[in-house]
Amino acid sequence: MKRKVTLKQIARELDVSISTVSKSLRNSPEISEDTRQKVQAFAKLYNYRPNNIALSLKNKKTKTIGIIIPEIVHHFFATVIGGIEQVANENGYNVIVCLSNESFDKEVINMEMLATGSTDGFIMSLSKETEQKKDFHHIQEVINQGMPVVMFDRVTNDVLCDKVIIDDQMAAYEAVDYLIGKGFKKIALVTTVDYVSVGKLRTDGYINALHDHDMAVDDTLIVKIEDIEHCEEPIAALLKTQKPDAIFAVNELFAVTCIKQANKIGIKVPDDLSVIGFTDGIISQYSSPSITTVSQNGEVMGGRAAKMLIDRLELEEENELYKTELIETHLVERESTTTL
Amino acid sequence: MKRKVTLKQIARELDVSISTVSKSLRNSPEISEDTRQKVQAFAKLYNYRPNNIALSLKNKKTKTIGIIIPEIVHHFFATVIGGIEQVANENGYNVIVCLSNESFDKEVINMEMLATGSTDGFIMSLSKETEQKKDFHHIQEVINQGMPVVMFDRVTNDVLCDKVIIDDQMAAYEAVDYLIGKGFKKIALVTTVDYVSVGKLRTDGYINALHDHDMAVDDTLIVKIEDIEHCEEPIAALLKTQKPDAIFAVNELFAVTCIKQANKIGIKVPDDLSVIGFTDGIISQYSSPSITTVSQNGEVMGGRAAKMLIDRLELEEENELYKTELIETHLVERESTTTL
């Protein structure tokens, strides 16, 4: 049986990265002449078929939208998909979902796969690794070939395309401002490492809110979590050594972990500690106490992204003017916060 | 711009169901000669391109697995996808996910779309509507054309294919047996309507466990929920009027709703009421009290389904012998149950 060789197989055979293969096949000047020739010869030998999107696009529409997201066990992304589905279906479009699992290589492979005739355009949120590498050639490539891309939530300024984001910095600012208004003085931040764009923006919002109230930023009150699977320890250490009176956590898993760890060492939420999370998911609703949180409106975000993509797909002429839409957030007050 | 007409558009134009269009295009004898001709003429006029899977299959492999699931905002399905992804990636396969949103029409459209060259085979869980209609022609059709299908969780005996299920009846039996062993006498069941196959099996397990302990089945203790979005009221009514001492709920949303409703009317879990759920998701872990539950091992189920599909895809010859694999469940004891 004749099998089509994949980018991944070529990369493995030649012991180079998937990105190198992808760029070589596109004659990118970033790749050395030698490597380019080697990759192209190999691809030719094994009948690698690059996508002829530009050609096929002129002739047919698949009426399908490709979604590429970092992960699926995450209520926020699930609600965004819900929002996309609804608007897509109303407009006669189908939706296909692929996961990057936070991997750059998987993101490239998924785009390549979907771009080869399966979809008319993309709605995507960047993988952590892609944000870290700052390598967006795969996205630029599909846009150059005439397939529109709408980015949401985790976006980059390095690619010109439509985007839907929340004002992460402002949302974080408002959450911290709310805590300051309730009288808290020792407000900790549990956030992600800086290369996750939304984590960085929310951190900035936290710092700005403190500044605007003439409160000092105390680095010992800021915990940057590298790996969400292992956030218990640094959070427990924060609670024990710094004894904050309030915490702003940049996602709901961090928030619920703060509450669980506080319980363990006898700190009561909200009596001894107020906690605000981010993302209004099922954990925030069902944890006990239920969690005060910044709602990201994932469904609205997904719907808006779908609308932007479909509008662009159905334009008769190309429009080089790209928009970035801001989705409103709001604070959902629940049981995990009180007044000092 | 020339657009490809879709099944849905044909159905709308001719005012017939998608299923009728799909069957007419395949010359199904279930459809009247008149309708068949009308549909086929229309399809021809608008250049509808039926899938030539049998043809394309012989020549190329996409190395892609199509997943069709009822919904995504459901931790169980998310963990199954995680398990499929892992095994698929290890074997050089990519994964594409489509949602039926519990709709028969969307399930048919998704299969049609993915079958037209995007995937080598399917892993799927039936939509509620498909289970209710008992119309599986779309699944039978792709199998006939040589694309293997593996069903998981919500399966049917009406289609011959590989299946991965848990022994829902046994798992429910064990949960109820556990409650009886703890001394409870008035054990309620919160389940789905009977046409959801797993709901029915879990109901049977509940009844068998009571029988085996010579306990009467009291219909007033059995609540069958039609719509998960509106389960609060029937659950509150059960708690108020029947005052059960324990509840077995067939999913974690029902379980956490039992706890929330009990709290509202001053019934304490686990002191006054023990609750066991089904599906070991994040709600069960983070709700307070955390919920004792039957773990479905979604990740194991997904991995096993992927293995079965890939094995079949890589067989040199056809094998008409289909397997149904049973995944082990186990009870995860947490805070929502006690001993009477």
The predicted-structure confidence for A2-44, as pLDDT tens digits, reads as follows 345 677 888 888 888 888 888 888 778 888 888 888 888 888 7
Number of domains in chain A: 3
- In the structure encoding, which two tokens stand for residue B46, read together? 């608008």
Are residues A94 and B109, on separate chains, in Cβ contact within 8 Å? yes
A1 is a domain residue = no
Are residues A287 and B282, on separate chains, in Cβ contact within 8 Å? no
Interface with chain B: mutation pick from A8, A57, A118, A228, highest number of B CBs within 10 Å: A118
Size of interface A-B (CB pairs under 8 A): 107
Q: Is B237 on the interface with A (CB under 8 A)?
A: no
Domain span at A32: 7-50
pTM of the predicted model as reported, rounded to 2 decimal places: 0.74
Indicate the residue of A6, A75, A101 with minimum beta-carbon distance to B85. Answer: A101
Nearest chain A residue to B283 by CA distance is A283
Q: Is A237 on the interface with B (CB under 8 A)?
A: no
- Confidence at residue A56, expressed as pLDDT on a 0 to 100 scale: 39
Whether pLDDT at A153 is above 50:
yes
Task: Select the more confidently predicted residue: A198 or A270.
Answer: A270
The predicted-structure confidence for B47-76, as pLDDT tens digits, reads as follows 665 543 333 344 467 889 999 999 887 778
Q: Is A255 on the interface with B (CB under 8 A)?
A: no
Q: Is A3 on the interface with B (CB under 8 A)?
A: yes
Residue B112 to residue A155: CA distance in whole angstroms: 32
CATH number of the domain to which B186 belongs: 3.40.50.2300
Return the H-helix or E-strand segment holding A319: none
Average pLDDT over residues B164-189: 95
The predicted-structure confidence for A197-255, as pLDDT tens digits, reads as follows 788 899 999 999 999 999 999 999 999 998 888 899 999 999 999 999 999 999 888 99
What region does B102 belong to: left with phi over 0, alpha with psi -120 to 50, or beta?
left
Nearest chain A residue to B98 by CA distance is A96
Residues B21 and B85 in one domain: no
- Confidence at residue A54, expressed as pLDDT on a 0 to 100 scale: 38
Q: Which ipTM did the prediction report? A: 0.71
Task: With beta carbons under 8 A apart, name residues in chain A contacting B113.
Answer: 62, 64, 94, 96
- In the structure encoding, which two tokens stand for residue A291, read together? 């969690």
Whether pLDDT at B178 is above 50:
yes
Identify which of B93, B156, B52 has the alpha carbon closest to the alpha carbon of residue B314.
B93
Residues B140 and B180 in one domain: no
Indicate the residue of A9, A101, A286 with minimum beta-carbon distance to B287. Answer: A286
Residue B223 to residue B220: CA distance in whole angstroms: 8
Least-confidence region, from A306-315, B193-202, B228-237: B193-202
pLDDT-derived band at B177, boundaries 50, 70, 90? very high
- Burial label for A262, CB within 10 Å (0-12, 13-18, 19+), is buried
A336 is a domain residue = no
Residues A293 and A303 in one domain: no
Q: Is A44 on the interface with B (CB under 8 A)?
A: no
B106 is a domain residue = yes
DSSP state of B291: P
Which residues, 6 or more positions from B129, have their beta carbon under 8 angstroms from its beta carbon?
Answer: B102, B103, B104, B105, B107
- Confidence at residue A34, expressed as pLDDT on a 0 to 100 scale: 87
Are residues A63 and B117, on separate chains, in Cβ contact within 8 Å? no
Are residues A72 and B78, on separate chains, in Cβ contact within 8 Å? yes
Residues A289 and A302 in one domain: no
The predicted-structure confidence for A67-125, as pLDDT tens digits, reads as follows 999 988 777 898 899 999 999 999 999 999 999 999 999 999 999 888 877 889 999 99
Task: With beta carbons under 8 A apart, name residues in chain B contacting A260.
Answer: 286
Indicate the residue of B82, B95, B283 with minimum beta-carbon distance to A98. Answer: B95
- How far is the CA of A4 from the CAs of A44, B308, B318, in angstroms? 11, 22, 21
**Cα angle at B273 between B269 and B277, to 5 degrees?**
80
User: How close, in Å, is residue B289 to chain A by CA atoms?
Assistant: 8
Are residues B283 and A283, on separate chains, in Cβ contact within 8 Å? yes
Question: What's the one-letter identity of residue B209?
Answer: A
Residue A94 to residue A33: CA distance in whole angstroms: 41
Whether pLDDT at B3 is above 60:
no
Return the H-helix or E-strand segment holding A195: none
> For residues B286 and B65, is the Cβ–Cβ distance under 8 A?
no
Residues B151 and B231 in one domain: no
Residues A160 and A305 in one domain: yes
pLDDT-derived band at A60, boundaries 50, 70, 90? low
Residues A257 and A184 in one domain: yes
pLDDT-derived band at B170, boundaries 50, 70, 90? very high
Residues B181 and B289 in one domain: yes
Interface with chain B: mutation pick from A3, A76, A97, highest number of B CBs within 10 Å: A97
Residue B243 to residue B223: CA distance in whole angstroms: 13
A2 is a domain residue = no
Q: Please, which residues 107-146 of chain B have a Cβ atom closer than 8 Å to chain A?
A: 109-110, 113-114, 117-118
pLDDT-derived band at B1, boundaries 50, 70, 90? very low
Q: Is A91 on the interface with B (CB under 8 A)?
A: no
Whether pLDDT at A194 is above 60:
yes
- Confidence at residue A15, expressed as pLDDT on a 0 to 100 scale: 87
**Cα angle at B5 between B3 and B10, to 5 degrees?**
155
Nearest chain A residue to B289 by CA distance is A288
Residues A26 and A123 in one domain: no
Residues A97 and A216 in one domain: no
Residues A283 and A179 in one domain: yes
Interface with chain A: mutation pick from B87, B257, B286, B291, highest number of A CBs within 10 Å: B286
Least-confidence region, from A184-188, A311-315, B30-34: B30-34
Identify which of A337, A289, A283, A286 has the alpha carbon closest to the alpha carbon of residue A175.
A337
Q: Is B11 on the interface with A (CB under 8 A)?
A: no
Q: Is A1 on the interface with B (CB under 8 A)?
A: yes
B335 is a domain residue = no
- How far is the CA of A245 from the CAs of A268, A275, A337, B70, B246, in angstroms? 11, 9, 10, 43, 39
Residue A67 to residue B72: CA distance in whole angstroms: 13
Return the H-helix or E-strand segment holding B250: none
Least-confidence region, from A162-171, A242-251, B4-13, B67-76: B4-13
- Confidence at residue A50, expressed as pLDDT on a 0 to 100 scale: 54
Indicate the residue of B6, B8, B286 with minimum beta-carbon distance to A283. Answer: B286
- How far is the CA of B1 from the CAs of A58, A92, A216, A274, B253, in angstroms? 7, 16, 60, 57, 47
Task: With beta carbons under 8 A apart, name residues in chain A contacting B81.
Answer: 72, 99
Residues B177 and B135 in one domain: no
pLDDT-derived band at B187, boundaries 50, 70, 90? very high
Are residues A72 and B73, on separate chains, in Cβ contact within 8 Å? no
Q: Is B317 on the interface with A (CB under 8 A)?
A: no
Indicate the residue of B61, B96, B114 with minimum beta-carbon distance to A98. Answer: B96
Least-confidence region, from A23-37, B130-144, B168-182, B241-255: A23-37
Average pLDDT over residues A34-60: 64
B302 is a domain residue = yes
Return the H-helix or E-strand segment holding B98: strand B94-99
Question: What's the one-letter identity of residue A100?
Answer: S
Q: Is B286 on the interface with A (CB under 8 A)?
A: yes
- Confidence at residue B51, expressed as pLDDT on a 0 to 100 scale: 47
A183 is a domain residue = yes
Are residues B97 and A92, on separate chains, in Cβ contact within 8 Å? no
Q: Is B12 on the interface with A (CB under 8 A)?
A: no
Identify which of A42, A46, A64 has the alpha carbon closest to the alpha carbon of residue A113.
A64
Are residues B72 and A97, on separate chains, in Cβ contact within 8 Å? yes
User: How close, in Å, is residue B210 to chain A by CA atoms?
Assistant: 31
User: How close, in Å, is residue A122 to chain B by CA atoms?
Assistant: 14
A340 is a domain residue = no
Q: Is B98 on the interface with A (CB under 8 A)?
A: yes
